[in-house]
Amino acid sequence: MPYIIDGKTIAKEILQKVESKVLELKTNLNIQPNIATVLVGNNTASEIYVRAKLEAAERVGIGAQLIRLRHEISNQELSTVIKGLNQDKEVTGILVQLPLPTGLNPNIVFELIDYKKDIDGFGIYNTGLLNHWNTNILPCTPQGILHVLKKYLGNDLSGKKAVIIGRSVIVGRPMASILIKESCTVTLTHSKTVNLKQECQTADILIAAVGVPLLVKTDWIKEGCFVVDVGINRYDDKLTGDVDFENVKTKSSHITPVPGGIGPLTVANLMLNALKLCYLQNNLDLSWIANEVL
């Protein structure tokens, strides 16, 4: 029988630990992590994501402010807002909700956010640190996936064949770097990959993060594959992932559902990153992280 991974329960465990550490900071050192979230325009999906993040911050005791910017804001105005938050000593973490409205340059986000305040962990500087395997701040979704893999496969992932579908800066590319560091053999596939189905059939671990509903079918995986579905798609008036869950689950050893799989872990790891950034900015010991949560 396949093991269906309950992302909500795992996320709750992470959030409880973050809450405990935030309380320690406040009680012992009078320090509190504080997030500034920038939301541009009125994208419905972005509104939902931001609300979930703000609710999680309130739950664990992290300070949070929402900065709403009009849809018509210029690149220069957005740059000015980010630079101001970089200089604000009360702000320990910055999050700009993506995607930005058409006409705004997303490289502003990747290039301008101070890496010491980069909660998402996919700014250019932190990406460089990640690829040198020298960072404490991993992008939130890949960090959540790594947590799941180690929870169920053990800390030693060496030798596993991992196939990733999707090469985004948010999931695919950082996930590949993380798994290479873990001594996996990694194949990063994308829309131009030849024989994608055959590539997937070689995987011990398959991570689907491409945004195509029900792309991965039963005959795309080998028996006992560990399947991680990152996709969130609206299909037939319901949310579905990139994996044909009902059929693929019968062949997999472990599988994450959509919704309720990786999504909650992304939000929980945002809070974890906010906590870690506060520790780093105050030169506090982060060694507890290795033994408690990833």
Q: What is the pLDDT of residue 1?
A: 77
Q: What is the pLDDT of residue 238?
A: 87
Cα angle 136, 82, 50; round to 5: 75
* Catalytic site positions: 53, 97, 120
**Domains within the chain, CATH numbers bracketed:** 29-114 (3.40.50.10860), 140-263 (3.40.50.720)
Q: What is the pLDDT of residue 239?
A: 86
Which residues fall within 8 angstroms of residue 167, CB to CB, at 6 or more apart? 173, 188, 189, 190
Q: Is 5 annotated as a binding residue?
A: no
Q: Is 167 annotated as a binding residue?
A: yes
Q: What is the pLDDT of residue 290?
A: 65
Q: What is the pLDDT of residue 58?
A: 97
Q: What is the pLDDT of residue 44?
A: 84
Cβ atoms of 186 and 179 within 8 Å: the answer is yes
Q: What is the pLDDT of residues 60-72, one digit of tens each?
A: 999 999 999 999 9
Q: Is 232 annotated as a binding residue?
A: yes
* Beta strands across the sheet bearing 63-69: 63-69, 34-40, 93-96
For the chain, what percentages of helix, strand and coil (3-state, to nearest 5) are there?
A: 45, 15, 40
**Which residue numbers in the chain have pLDDT < 50?**
293-294
Q: What is the pLDDT of residue 257?
A: 97
Conformational region of residue 20, where left means phi above 0, alpha means psi within -120 to 50, and beta covers everything else: alpha
Q: What is the pLDDT of residue 237?
A: 84
Q: Is 144 annotated as a binding residue?
A: no
Q: What tokens appear for 289 in the block?
A: 């992280």
Q: What is the pLDDT of residue 129?
A: 96
